[in-house]
Amino acid sequence: MARILVLHGPNLNLLGIREPEHYGTLRLSEIDRQISDLAGKEGVAVEIFQSNSEGALVDRIQQALGKFDALVINPAAYTHTSIAIRDAILSVGIPTIEVHLSNIHSREAFRRTSLISDVVVGQVSGFGPQSYLLGFLGAIEYLRGPVQIRKGRKKGEGK
């Protein structure tokens, strides 16, 4: 069974209360419940961890070595500042999906830079709590095998 570790960074424990115009009104516990339900439906094992501390997140990424097949991470503000989290992801070499509730590319300029975006499989940003579910499904699909994108055919072209 595939094992996926979901990591939430700083201030995400205040979801539901915190800046609802950016992050919605759902609490983190409800998002975690939805992730666990999805894991159950898809037949994968999931563990979820939140910390406000950069070091604790680095520790969990390191401890994931040999225990998890993929990471889904919302590093929150550390997205824009943490070389340590980037290095930890590179060190363990576990395929990682980056998620953000808000669209970090449509907000303040400093949020447009992610220090992990070039070392992750992909980024899901801007779909609210759904970003986690889409990112989680992305991790599962990635583990199941290469994504085959069929090119659209123009009218009149053969099969």
Interface with ligand DQA: number of residues (CB under 6 A)? 10
- Cα Rg of the chain (Å, integer): 16
Q: Determine which residue in the list 104, 115, 124, 133 makes contact with ligand DQA, applying CB under 6 A.
A: 104
* Active-site residue flag, 100: yes
Known binding residue 103? Answer is no
Q: Is 78 a catalytic residue?
A: no
CB of 156 to ligand DQA, least distance (A): 44
Query: Which two tokens mark 123?
Result: 């980024």
Task: Give the tokens for residue 7.
Answer: 């990591």
* Amino acid letter for position 24: G
- The C-alpha atoms of residue 52 and residue 78 are separated, in whole angstroms, by 10
Which residue in this structure is represented by tokens 């779909």?
127
CB of 69 or CB of 135, closer to ligand DQA: 135
Identify which of 56, 32, 55, 145 has the alpha carbon closest to the alpha carbon of residue 95.
Answer: 145
Nearest to ligand DQA by Cβ — which residue? 76
Among 42, 111, 130, 141, binds ligand DQA (CB under 6 A): 111
Binding segment (CB under 6 A) for ligand DQA, from list 32-40, 48-56, 62-70, 98-106: 98-106
Assign residue 16 a region (left: φ > 0; alpha: ψ between -120 and 50; beta: otherwise).
Answer: left
The answer to whether 77 contacts ligand DQA (rule: CB under 6 A) is yes
Q: Is 74 in the site for ligand DQA (CB under 6 A)?
A: yes
Query: Which tokens sit at 15?
Result: 């979801």
Looking at 29-37, 65-73, 87-95, 96-104, which segment touches ligand DQA (CB under 6 A)? 96-104
Q: What is the DSSP letter of 101?
A: S
Identity of the residue, 50 or 79, whose beta carbon is nearer to ligand DQA in the bound complex: 79
How many beta carbons lie within 10 A of that of residue 113, not counting itself?
Answer: 12
Q: Which residues define the annotated binding site?
A: 74, 80, 87, 101-102, 111
